[in-house]
Amino acid sequence: MNTVSAPSSELLLQHLASIQFTISGTGFIVDTDVNNPSSTLQPDDLVGSSINEVIAAESAPALSAKLTEARRNKGTAVRCDITLTPRSSNSVPLLCWLCCESNNDDVRVAALDLLPEASLRHQLLNAQHAMERDYWSKRRLEARYRRLLDMVSDGFVVVDDNSGRILEANPVAAMLLAAPGANLVGKAFPVGLDDAARSIVERLTREARSVTTTVDGMLRNDGGLELNIAMTYLRQSGEGRLLVRLRDDSERDVAGAEFQPFFNDAPDGILELDEQGIVTAANGSFLEMAGLASIELIEGRRADRWIGRSAVDLNIVLDHSKQEGSVRLYSTTLRTETESSVDIELSVARVGKNGSTRVLLFIRDISRRITPDQSVDDHLPRSIEQITDRVGRVPLKELVRESTDVIEALCIEAALKLTSGNRASAAELLGLSRQSLYTKLRRFDLGDAEVDIDREAV
């Protein structure tokens, strides 16, 4: 590049080539011109270096062969793809054209920096891999979703809200809609229902569109089977979907249809659980105790959300009932929806239902129960048993302090009984001064300490 006036081809080359450099006959880079400001290569990285020092090992054989070819065919451009690895920067891929001078063995190299293109290809490859991972993840999720639909005992239908056509339906839904074995996909919903049932479905559809919660009702199919239908409206990407659950209501009885009134109207709360503690039914008394508005808010959830100081209590009664068959009078707490706690007493029984085992929890509120040995104006627990019953409801620090007070009060009462009410003797027996004893009597509200002080003064 030592020409005085560059020809038009030289000017054009300067604009097209990202990098130009000259390799001498001895293999050293003697001249460099970087035309791309964003290139990571700088002239100082190349000038004075041997080409073998900056060329990547995998590119060295190809460059050596092309240099020989260019020197043999002087004045002819030879293409070569190489990668430079200067010490001060990362590897840079180059698309090169080599041409040997006619009067010496110097080879001029004009190259395009392929690093931006390589980076773009790398990003494209990463995006493609990410799309493939998402694709296979969705395929696996869809397979699990369809498998679950086939496994559940309830009928599920997904309906397009715009067209009213069924998009998804499991085999149980086809059976409950009096179309066993039929493919419901693509058909107008509802199918297999009389005019009265259709009007119920239309009403529930309007309600589902206007609320964010699940709406439900009762209807009969063409075969006379009584069904419970629950409907939820879901909007995604500007499209509306109706998620419909169908259940044979005759299978929801706790222990037969004749016991359903007892279950619903019992004054104590009753929960029906499966063996994992999942709620399958609850009566009105429990819903009232827990502050729940409807049965849908509790069905399908684990009972330790409401029952017990923690999940430990429910696990204890489930394990014990499995070993012994039943549990009686287990004291624990009920956590309501308002985050308050209610003292309750649990009795547990296990019954068979539809070939499986159900666990029945009978729940009684004992928060206002007064035991014969406890008056309403007691300030402290009267025994260690009463203190241990408060574990989980009162912090440990407070329980320890109450335990100390209870033991101290019980010792003072025992000393007074031993001395037939003689305070002076009781103080001596306890190793206290009389003034300290009177202070503790006032603190624990034991006897008439003020009268005793006046007597001592006389």
Helix (H) or strand (E) holding 108: strand 107-113
CB 132 within 8 A of CB 153: no
**CATH code for residues 253-365:** 3.30.450.20
Whole-angstrom distance, CA of residue 376 vs CA of residue 359: 36
Q: Residue 369 to residues 267, 270, 364, 365, 366: CA-CA distances in angstroms?
A: 16, 20, 11, 8, 5
In this prediction the pTM is 0.39
Q: Where are the beta strands (DSSP E) in 135-257?
A: 155-160, 166-169, 215-220, 226-236, 239-248
Helix/strand/coil for 155: strand
Q: 187-208 burial by CB neighbour count: b if 16+ within 10 A, else e?
A: bebbbbbeeebeebbeebbebb
Whole-angstrom distance, CA of residue 32 vs CA of residue 44: 9
**CATH code for residues 384-457:** 1.10.10
93: Cβ contacts below 8 Å, ≥ 6 apart: 81, 82, 83, 113, 114, 115, 118
Q: Hey, what are 265's tokens?
A: 């109207």
- How much is the pLDDT for 355? 57
Name the stretches of the chain with pLDDT < 70. Answer: 1-15, 36-40, 88-89, 178-181, 249-260, 353-356, 368-387, 389-394, 447-458
Whole-angstrom distance, CA of residue 209 vs CA of residue 336: 29
Q: Residue 155 to residues 27, 136, 151, 199, 249: CA-CA distances in angstroms?
A: 79, 27, 10, 20, 12
pLDDT in tens, 290-329: 888 888 888 888 888 888 877 788 888 888 888 888 888 8
Q: Is there a common fold for 152-251 and 384-457?
A: no
Nearest to 10 by CA among 41, 33, 29, 27: 33
- How much is the pLDDT for 454? 43
Q: Hey, what are 258's tokens?
A: 């004749």
All structural domains of the chain with their residue ranges:
8-113, 152-251, 253-365, 384-457
Helix (H) or strand (E) holding 209: helix 195-210
- How much is the pLDDT for 132? 92
Helix (H) or strand (E) holding 273: strand 269-273
Q: Hey, what are 81's tokens?
A: 């793809």
CB 13 within 8 A of CB 41: no
- How much is the pLDDT for 13? 66
Asked if residue 190 has a cis previous peptide bond (ω within 30° of 0), the answer is yes
Fold of the 152-251 domain: Beta-Lactamase (3.30.450)
Whole-angstrom distance, CA of residue 414 vs CA of residue 396: 27
Whole-angstrom distance, CA of residue 66 vs CA of residue 99: 10
CB 49 within 8 A of CB 42: no
**CATH code for residues 8-113:** 3.30.450.20
**Residue-by-residue DSSP string for 290-357:** HT-S-GGGTTTSBGGGTBSSSHHHHHHHHHHHHHHSEEEEEEEEEE-TTS-EEEEEEEEEEEEETTEE
For the chain, the straight-line distance linking the first and the last C-alpha, in angstroms and rounded, comes to 126
Please name every residue paired with 247 in a beta bridge, in sequence order, or none if there are none.
Answer: 228
- How much is the pLDDT for 180? 66
